[in-house]
Structure 1
Amino acid sequence: MNAKLTFLGTGTSMGVPTLGCDCAVCTSADVRNVRTRSSIALEYAGRVVLIDTGPDFRQQMLRSGLRQVDAVLYTHGHADHVLGFDDLRPLTFGRGGPVPVYADDPTADVLERVFEYTFRKVDKYPTSAKVALHRLSAEPGTAVSLFGASFERIPMIHGRNSIGGYRFGQAAYLTDMSDLPEASFDRLHGLDVVVLDALRREPHPSHSHLENSVRIAEKIGARRTFFTHIAHELDHAEVAAELPPHIQPAYDGLQLEFVIA
């Protein structure tokens, strides 16, 4: 089954342009250097599955032209990946049932705390998002089946935290990782597309930097690698020119096709 992946956003937690900055990337005329917070949408079998809903989610959906959401998977509970959750509301009304939302325990705890009015049992806010929260085990091999495709949670290292990426068919989305446990590499064989965190050139305590991301990409060996969660230290054209054709930076609105099942 074929699928389309759209990069809704490819930026770091502060976005690009970054507030208060007048560097060459933040003032660039290249639209590929305008990066909203990282998220993707997957379209297949007439369905739309999201991974993460950051603060720019409403703007991203309007720009993409997408008019439905059938499920959401979360990588972790940091603000730049969950704060658009409330903007799911109009997309969950009138659909005959709640939108399933999947998250590991720490992320689910964040969602239930920050959006308490959505999940409370008594005196529930009347126009809350109509969602059903499903907690995912953090154990390797955890997977959920959605509309004929399997989404396997891939354990990742995010500084001092353990979070999750996802493999779905011949593609994988691994944002916000500083490294991967060795066992996760074993779950990433035979990929057509892999999306990896590549924050900047200099090492960072909780994100992979460009050189390390290239090393990880080569170890995974996917046919195509795209970098996301990119900060304003990296100019798109400059980085694209120095990387091999099969390893490239992504940009907001980029679309890819692949086999999901």
Structure 2
Amino acid sequence: MKVTVLGSGTSQGVPVIACECPVCHSLDYRDKRLRVSVHIEVSGKSFIIDSGPDFRQQVLRERIKKLDALIFTHEHKDHTAGMDDIRAFNFSQHQDMPVYAEERVLHQLQNEFSYIFSGISYPGIPRVQLHPISEERFEIEGVQIIPIRAMHYKLPVFGFRIGNFTYITDANAITAAEKEKIKGSEVIILNALRKEPHISHFSLSEAITLLEELQPKQAYLTHISHLMGFHAEVEKELPDFIRLAYDGLKLNC
């Protein structure tokens, strides 16, 4: 399995518009963070988890030529806004795009992208196949995927485990039962917004504590705010098995 971090930033990205902080002016490419998303290549299949506002830019940067499915963690705009750009894959692959999410998220997509589902078809409209998922494991093109339920303050969200890789973003609470689904993962990507506590995201210390409990061989932190600090400096504070993710990071899992 090959995992590419398409974006590692929070909802505003880094740099933040009109921000004059040192991190937003950093010249380190690792401090330039698009909205959070990952590309997964496994068993000859190509999946993307979340298509935020930077989806087109991310896909072009990584030269992704094939997409077998789009999977959503939850319905917030920084995770869904780029779905219109699946049109290019409709044209090149000559088929509708399978979209996987829980029912609540699918309903939100139907509201936000109402022109797709209005029943009035015209050239250029995105074409999708909606596939509702629940807390039970599901399969896409022969690939088994285990949903991991987490809480984003009061909003239920999904993380996903594929083989020995687990991806969780926009979370600040995971039950003991759901942690059992994660244990044994060799690589985990987990959100850590900033050093200070936050109402709906793990802080840096909270993410480290959870990862020390789960004990993967390697872990990466994502959904990072400019308030976290400089990539190079924060990495010096981390345990050996934990690193900060950055846009374009490629992992073999």
- Give the structure-1-normalised TM-score: 0.94
Contact 1:93 1:129 in 2 (8 A): no
The CA deviation at 1:67 is 1.3
Cα distance in structure 1, aligned partners of 2:86 and 2:111? 17
Shift of 1:44: 2.3
Equivalent of residue 201 in structure 1, options 177, 195, 205: 195
Task: Tell me which residue corresponds to 2:27.
Answer: 29
* Aligned partner of residue 212 in structure 1, secondary structure: helix
Return the match for 1:218 from 188, 212, 217.
212
State the partner residue of 2:182. Answer: 188
Kindly provide the amino acid, as one letter, of the partner of residue 238 in structure 2: L
In structure 2, what is the equivalent of residue 176 of structure 1? 170
Tell me if the contact between 2:66 and 2:93 (Cα under 8 Å) persists in the aligned partners: no
TM-score norm. by structure 2 comes to: 0.97
Could you tell which deviates more after superposition, 31-40 or 235-244? 235-244
2:243 aligns with 248
Partner Cα separation in structure 2 for residue 236 and residue 8 of structure 1: 17
C-alpha separation in 2, matches of 1:229 and 1:94: 31
CA deviation digits over 1:192-250, x for unaligned, max 9? Answer: 11110100000010111000000111111111110000000122111111112211110
Q: Match of 1:228?
A: 222
Partner residue of 2:233 out of 228, 238, 245 = 238
Aligned partners of 2:34, 2:245: CA distance in 1, in Å? 12
Give ranges in structure 1 of 5+ residues lacking alignment.
none
Q: Which amino acid aligns with 2:179?
A: F
Task: State the aligned residue count.
Answer: 252
Query: In angstroms, what is the RMSD of aligned CA positions?
Result: 1.1
Q: Give structure 2 stretches of 5+ with no counterpart.
A: none
Is the aligned partner of 1:123 residue 2:120? yes
The runs of at least 4 consecutive aligned structure 1 residues that moved more than 6 Å come to none
Q: Percent identity?
A: 40
5 Å-filtered alignment, 1:30-179, equals 30-120=28-118, 122-137=119-134, 139=135, 142-179=136-173
Distance 2:62 2:127 in 1: 22
1:61-114 Cα offsets, whole Å, 9 max, x none, are 111111121101100000000000001111122524322110112211111001
Q: 1:156-187: CA deviations, max 9, x gaps?
A: 01011111110100001000001212211111
Q: Which amino acid aligns with 1:48?
A: S
